[in-house]
Structure formats: structure tokens, C-alpha cells
Amino acid sequence: MTSVQLRLEDPEVEGSHAETSSFAVLLLGALGVVYGDIGTSPLYAFREALHASGQVPDAVVGAEVMGLLSLIVWSLTIVVAVKYVGFVLRADNKGEGGTLSLMALARESYAGRPTWVLVLGIAGASLFLGDAIITPAISVLSAVEGLKVVAPALSQWVVPITLCIIVALFLVQRFGTGSVAFVFGPVTAVWFVALGASGLVHIVEAPAILAAFNPYYGAVFLVSHIDIAVVILGSVFLAVTGAEALYVDLGHFGRRPIVVAWFMLVFPCLLLNYFGQGAFIYTHPESVEHPFFEMLPDWGRLPMVVLATAATVIASQAVISGAYSLIRQAMHLNLLPGFHVRHTSETQAGQIYLPQVNLLLLISVIILVVNFRSSSALSAAYGIAVTGEMLITSILLFVVMRRIWKWTLPLSIAILLPLTVIDTAFFFSNVAKFAQGGWVPVVVAVFIAFLMQTWMSGRRLLISRTKADEISLDTMMASLAKKALPTVPGTAVFLTSEVEGAPTALLHSLKHYKVLHEQNVVLSVVTSSSPFVPDDEKIFFESFNPQFSRMIITFGYMETPNIPKALILARKLGWKFDIMSTSFFLSRRTLIPSGKGGMPFWQDRVFIALAENASNATEYFRLPTGRVVELGIQNTI
């Protein structure tokens, strides 16, 4: 038996992120995708902080405005500028970011790959999906609510207009974002400039507001409002929602464009707008209902409503795309079944559309808008998911600091302990809003985590029970050597998830057809803990004899499994392969619930429903439909 790791001397490189695009393009793209969510926070964050402090028009005083502004400013500085920009963005998994990437990076550092790290990753991913249904609802609602200031008579149309925008947004997902993505950056850039300009006008009128840079005002405000400090912190946190997008989209743009965009435009414009709102309230204490729109001149309000709506649609689009990307990562890491993935671009692998996920997101967002009906009501639901994910990020980052970066324990604690304390304070301040709507992302996250746990447990049960009926590949070949079977021309590729066992499809083919092909390849596809696998490491080929061989194809968890493309790569490496004389043999399983052993009967049914809604192997692995032979078998789960 000979074994060889096939290598490619002149590898083909699929579309690269930063190498094929100029820095300016990446910078502009980062504005539209990475900062869309946090960029729309001024629409409601300062307003909700004012309302949470119990302010009424005739009771707003300068010290209270200064205190709230100080809390917002230092929340943006510590959570975003220090934690995410300073440290989290450095914890990339070969260029990729996000909760699952961080989980894979941290888990890989342990020899035993502990379960608790996997559980944290699942919890963080589930919380992100909980946030993904709230962001479109609260963002679009907060923008359209500007109509209440521009034309109060249209107030009853806020919810219907919001629903129309959201439905249109989700319906166009099937066409992909490529055709409109080029406008995301410029529109968001205009949005940030408008934020800064509208705030600067009022800062000039009341420059004393800049004293809020002093953290003393924030500390004094919390101490003097200690009885409602938890509620206030929950509202202040709205200013940093969207910070996790910096890490999630790291792989699309790279660290440098994200950092430069933050310090060059996003951070300054956010500060200018928040200070501008504070200065406006400082001089107009009666305007606490919608300070963002009320501080604008009459001629500028309607254009700002239009621009805000465009910005919130872009922010929603970024979150939806992030949800697609996260679900795909979970699929490739075997945390969820392989749902149908539709690629909407011939050149950009990251532009995908998941019809089932899109429908579930649309229904969830519509339910939220119809039930809560205002951004103020929805703000109570917004924080728990984001703060929970940030807290999990801090824990996993500590593992990376200690085990991968090899930082000393005192240094790691000195950096992360203050950040974790702040994350924890924000988390519990949002837990206090559980009954007012905070339960929404928690329910979504628990449901997603339950589906992931069911899928993983069901797969383990299915594998253990099918193993009992399988024989090893060596045993099968030894048996075939004793009895010569007729051969037919061509190549047969038998797909199996078990690297060592004989494929079920092969055993059934021998049982029913009693013939072999001239060449028989046992093919296994595995997913690496790395986001991308170089071409020269993708193919492992093993030849047992002239008639039998085994191939293992390794894809990164951010890659789309494409077996024909990988086989073409193997052909370039010397393996003879002709797609027109090759048949792919798959096992199509019919699952029967038993309720005995691993999972309850009802959970068996959930697992079967997930399996039935999953994309079939032909579609998932991009196999040519005319070359696939499926053999049906029944398995009890």
C-alpha cells in the first residue's frame, strides 16, 4: 500500500481579500458593512439613556446630561476602541473572526479539545443570531420614527412603512448584495459625515458640553443615581451595540481598514453627534422625545429621515449577511445540518443566500415589529444578546492570550479583568430588562443552542449505530481479494463520513449489483478548524491496490465544499480523473425515531426534521446531478 500527500507546485489562489483590492476600497467597504450597526445607534441610544434616567422636559439639568454623555463616551472608548480594536481584532483565526472562529482557535490550543470551549462558542453564536433578528427591527423603526417629527400626522404609518421596508429587504436577498454593495460604503460615509456635522453645529453653540470627556461626570452621575444605575447602564450600552461586527467581519476586510475607519471617521463622528445631542438638550431641555431629529433644522429633517432609513437598511443587511456567514460556519463545523446555500456571485464566495434561514429571519423580525411597535419598546430586548456575546468573547480571548499568545497570567488578568468587569456590569444591567423584552433574544438563543445540541447528539448516535453494521475497509478488501468480481469500465467514487470504515453505499452496491468498477475511490470530506485550507494541503491520496484507493479532501470551515473542483485539483497533481466516466455513489438515509437510548422520542423527531430540511449531499458538495447514484437505507435513531 502506498500513501502520498499530493502537493501543488503552482497553486491556484481563489479570490483573496486584501491582496486583490486596494486599501481605499477595503476602507470604504468596511464603513458600509462593519460600522453600519453601531453607526445607527445615535438614533436611539442617547434618547433611551435620557428616558431611563427618569428625565422629563422641565427636569433635565446640565450635570445629568454631562453624566450620561460621559458614560456613553467612555463606553465607546473602552468597549470598542480598547477591547475590540486594541485586542480582540488581533485574535484572528488565520485572518477570520467571529465567535465560532475564536472558539475554534481557543479549542485548538487544547490537546483534548474541551467541551466547555465548544459550549461557549455555541452560546456566543446563538446569542449573535438572537441579535440578528432585533437589529433590523429596531434600526428601521428608529429611522422611520423620524416621520413623527417631520409630519406628526403620519405617526400611524410608522409601523406599516417599517414592515414594507423590512419585507422588501428580505425579498431582495435572493438576488445577492453584489449589485448594490458598492453603494453601501459611500452612503454610510455620507451618513457619518451628516452625524458629525449635525452634532458640531450644536457643540459650537454650547462648547461647555465637551467637559463630559472627563469620566468624573459619569462616575458622579452613577453614584447619585445608584437606585436606577442598572437601568441607566442598560440604556447607555445601546451606544456600543454593533461593536461585535468589527470582529465578525474581520475576514472580509482585514484588521487595518477596520482600525483606520474607526479612528479616522466613525469614532470622531459618533462623538460629535452624541455631544451635539447633549448640547441641544442642554439648551433645549424640552426636546427629549426625539433629540436626534429635533436638533436638525426644519429643512434638514426629511432628508435625514431618508438618509437614516438608508443607513438602517445597510446596517440590517450587514447583520443578515453576518447571520448567513455564521450559519455556514456552524454547518461546516457540524453544529447544524447542511442547509441549502445559494451562491449569488460568481466571483465572491462570501456572497451567499440561505432561503430557509432568510424566511425564518423575516418572520421573526415581522413578529417583533408588530408586537413592540416602537424602537423604545424594542430597546429593552436589544442588550442581553450583545452583552452575553461580548462576555463570552472576553473569556475566549483570555484563553487565546494565555495559550496561544503565551502572555503571562498577571498581564492577561491586568488587561482583561477590567474589561470583563465592564462586560459583566452591562450584562446584568440588561438582564434587568428581561421582563420588558430582554427575553426575546434569550429565547432565540436557547432555541438555536437546542437545535445545535440536538444535531450534534443525533449525529453521534447515528454514527455509533451505523458503525455496528459496518465493516472496516481492510476487511472488505481482504474479502474481495478472495473472490474476483466482474468489473465495469469507469471510476466509482463512494462518499463516506467514516475515514476507516467501508462506505455503506459500496457495501450496498456490491450486495445488489455484484460488480466493481475499474477504479474505486473511497472519498471522505473533512472540515478543518482553520477557515481556509491551502490547495497544497487539501488532498490526501492513498492507493491500496490498482483497483482501490482512498482520498480525503479537507476544506476550511469558511470554504464551500466543492468536490468536482477538488478532484480537478487532484488531477493536476497526477491522479487520472474523467468526470464523464465517473459515478458518485451516495447513501440516502431514511431515519426512524426510536426514543430508546440517547435522546427522548420527541427530540429524535426534531433531529429527523433537521435532517429532512438539510440540503442533500449532491447539492451540498456541488456534485453533477447526472453522475450521482443514490442508494436508500433505513436507520433507527
CA 521 – CA 492 distance, rounded (Å): 6
CA 446 – CA 438 distance, rounded (Å): 13
- pLDDT mean over 600-628: 83
Q: Which helix (H) or strand (E) holds 542?
A: strand 539-543
Higher pLDDT, 158 or 544: 158
pLDDT in tens, 141-198: 888 888 888 888 888 898 999 999 999 888 888 776 555 556 778 889 999 999 999 9
Residue 333 has pLDDT above 90, yes or no: no
CA 344 – CA 557 distance, rounded (Å): 19
Most confident of 274-278, 481-485, 595-599: 274-278
Block residue for cell numbers 481556509: 532
Residue 7 has pLDDT above 50, yes or no: no
- Residue 59 is predicted with a pLDDT of 47
pTM over 0.85: no
- Residue 577 is predicted with a pLDDT of 73
CA 56 – CA 49 distance, rounded (Å): 12
* Class of residue 340 by CB neighbours under 10 A (exposed 0-12, middle 13-18, buried 19+): middle
Give the β-pairing of 548-555 and 352-353.
Answer: unpaired
Contact 470, 498 (CB under 8 A): yes
Residue 348 has pLDDT above 60, yes or no: no
Q: What is the band of 634 on the pLDDT scale with cuts at 50, 70, 90?
A: low
- pLDDT mean over 465-470: 67
pLDDT in tens, 485-504: 888 888 889 888 776 777 87
Residue among 302, 377, 315 at smallest CA distance from 44:
377
Residue 273 has pLDDT above 80, yes or no: yes
Contact 593, 637 (CB under 8 A): yes
CA 89 – CA 97 distance, rounded (Å): 8
What percent of the chain shows pLDDT beyond 90? 21
In the chain the domains, ranked by start, together with CATH numbers, are 23-456 (1.20.1740.10), 472-636 (no CATH)
Residue among 551, 530, 560, 554 at smallest CA distance from 623:
560
- pLDDT mean over 57-84: 83
Grid cell at residue 95:
485572518
Residue-averaged pLDDT of the chain: 83
Block residue for cell numbers 468480481: 485
Residue among 400, 384, 416 at smallest CA distance from 82:
416
Q: Among 142-146, 606-610, 628-632, where is mean pLDDT lowest?
A: 628-632
* Class of residue 56 by CB neighbours under 10 A (exposed 0-12, middle 13-18, buried 19+): exposed
**Considering Cα of 526, then 527, then 532, then 537, what sign does the dihedral take?**
negative
Q: What is the band of 82 on the pLDDT scale with cuts at 50, 70, 90?
A: very high
Q: What is the band of 109 on the pLDDT scale with cuts at 50, 70, 90?
A: confident
CA 589 – CA 630 distance, rounded (Å): 10
Q: In a 3-state reduction of DSSP, which class is residue 3?
A: strand
Grid cell at residue 361:
429571519
- Residue 190 is predicted with a pLDDT of 93
Block residue for cell numbers 450583545: 386
- Residue 406 is predicted with a pLDDT of 92
DSSP summary character for residue 449: H
What percent of the chain shows pLDDT beyond 70? 90
By residue count, the chain amounts to 637
Contact 192, 266 (CB under 8 A): yes
- pLDDT mean over 259-271: 94
Q: What is the band of 10 on the pLDDT scale with cuts at 50, 70, 90?
A: very low
CA 104 – CA 102 distance, rounded (Å): 5
Q: What φ, ψ does residue 166 adopt, rounded to 5°?
A: -65, -45
- Residue 502 is predicted with a pLDDT of 77
Our CA angle for 511, 516, 522, nearest 5°, is: 90
Grid cell at residue 256:
487595518
Residue 62 has pLDDT above 80, yes or no: no
DSSP summary character for residue 472: B
